[in-house]
Amino acid sequence: MARILVTAPQLPEALDLLTVTHEVIGGQEFMTRDEIASYIGGVDAILSALSDPLDAEMISLAGPGLKIIAQCAAGFNNIDVAAAKQRGIQVSTTPGVLHEATADTAFMLMLMVTRRAGEAERWVRDHKPWRYSHTFMLGTGLQGAQLGIIGLGQIGEAMGRRAAVLGMDVVYSSRSDKDLSAIDGVNPDTAPTRRVELGELLETSDVVSLHCPLTPETRHIIDAAALAQMKDTAFLVNTARGACVDEAALVDALNSGSIAGAGLDVYEDEPTINPALYEMDNVVLLPHIGSATRQTRWMMSKLAIDNITDVLAGRPARTAL
């Protein structure tokens, strides 16, 4: 019976699936670094979460039995993949199952911030006086506006599809021309195909939405200079990783009115949020719920468990990095 470390709360049905054939440790509470460190020497697999600090030092504590870190997320910036691979530990993620739900969240944030939905809802809940008025709570319409997608993977493509249905013009930036047919699940016939340089994207888009992974190159890709390039009527949406945006610079840009608003699901130092953001009515704040639908979370759990099963049976993980 293999020992599986589950580092964060999991769906009961996922735990049931694992415990049929394995001994499961954890699974109830978010584990601290010290707790993970105390277990990592004696387990065969880790079902990990995106906040687990699986850096080189932690991976050096792995026992000889550890064969796979199965990350239950698309992003993996918390894992030192090279250090894991060097020790023969496979690392897998859960692509292909969460992009639609995450694009829904980005789309929702775009609509919420441009149509002032958070602010309007707070107004009603605060019992502030209102009645239908031609001039009340006017937002920004998006038909004919331009969406700039930074990072065209599965989630960016799904966001582009949604925006196109709304009547938006969609452009994207990436470091190189994308061979869209090479991105799993992307339909080149419907994907945005107009690639522009990042500078042009920032200068010309009405909404800028981040869909890139967090890497050394994309850390603070939206910094003070990038924010200054955006139109003062433009909105920023981030469902990628908080550290893709310099949060202090974002606060300055919002304070000075150099951009019009922001819809955020992720933060630089989660779950801490820059206190100034709470006070801004032109900012929508969500608690990192990008892929949080029951259906998607089950598909993510199932795929991560399938990866563990594969590797423990001597096969490569089906979505290995």
Instruction: Single out the segment in contact with ligand GLV by CB under 6 A; choices: 67-75, 104-112, 222-230, 269-277.
Output: 67-75
For the CA atoms of 201, 204, 209, 215, the dihedral, rounded to the nearest 10 degrees, stands at: 30
Q: What does the alpha-carbon distance between residue 239 and residue 129 come to, in Å, rounded to a whole number?
A: 33
| x/- letters, 102..141, toward ligand GLV (CB under 6 A) | ----------------------------------------
Interface with ligand GLV (CB under 6 A), residue from 290, 305, 317, 319: 290
Contacts of 13 (CB under 8 A, 6+ apart): 298, 301
State yes or no: is 175 an active-site residue: no
Q: What does the alpha-carbon distance between residue 184 and residue 303 come to, in Å, rounded to a whole number?
A: 16
Interface with ligand GLV (CB under 6 A), residue from 49, 74, 186, 244: 74
Smallest gap from residue 240 Cβ to ligand GLV (A): 8
243 lies in the binding site for ligand GLV (CB under 6 A): no
101 lies in the binding site for ligand GLV (CB under 6 A): no
Q: Which positions from 22 through 51 interact with ligand GLV, judged by CB under 6 A?
A: 50
Smallest gap from residue 257 Cβ to ligand GLV (A): 30
Q: What does the alpha-carbon distance between residue 185 and residue 202 come to, in Å, rounded to a whole number?
A: 27
Q: What does the alpha-carbon distance between residue 253 and residue 174 come to, in Å, rounded to a whole number?
A: 24
Interface with ligand GLV (CB under 6 A), residue from 173, 205, 218, 291: 291
Nearer to ligand GLV by Cβ, of 178 and 288: the residue is 288
SS3 170: strand
| x/- letters, 175..214, toward ligand GLV (CB under 6 A) | ----------------------------------------
Q: Does residue 162 contact residue 197 with C-beta atoms inside 8 Å? A: no
Burial of 249 (0-12, 13-18, 19+ CB in 10 A): middle
AA identity, residue 14: A
State yes or no: is 219 an active-site residue: no
Instruction: Single out the segment in contact with ligand GLV by CB under 6 A; choices: 24-32, 68-76, 110-118, 123-131.
Output: 68-76
Q: What does the alpha-carbon distance between residue 260 and residue 309 come to, in Å, rounded to a whole number?
A: 48
Catalytic residue among 35, 200, 203, 270: 270
Count interface residues toward ligand GLV (CB under 6 A). Answer: 7
SS3 285: strand
73 lies in the binding site for ligand GLV (CB under 6 A): yes
Q: In what order do the strands lie in the sheet with 207-210?
A: 194-195, 169-173, 146-150, 207-210, 235-238, 261-264, 283-285
Catalytic residue among 100, 241, 247, 297: 241
Interface with ligand GLV (CB under 6 A), residue from 70, 89, 98, 236: 98
Instruction: Name the residues that contact ligand GLV, by CB under 6 A.
Output: 50, 73-75, 98, 290-291
List, by residue number, the catalytic residues: 241, 270, 288
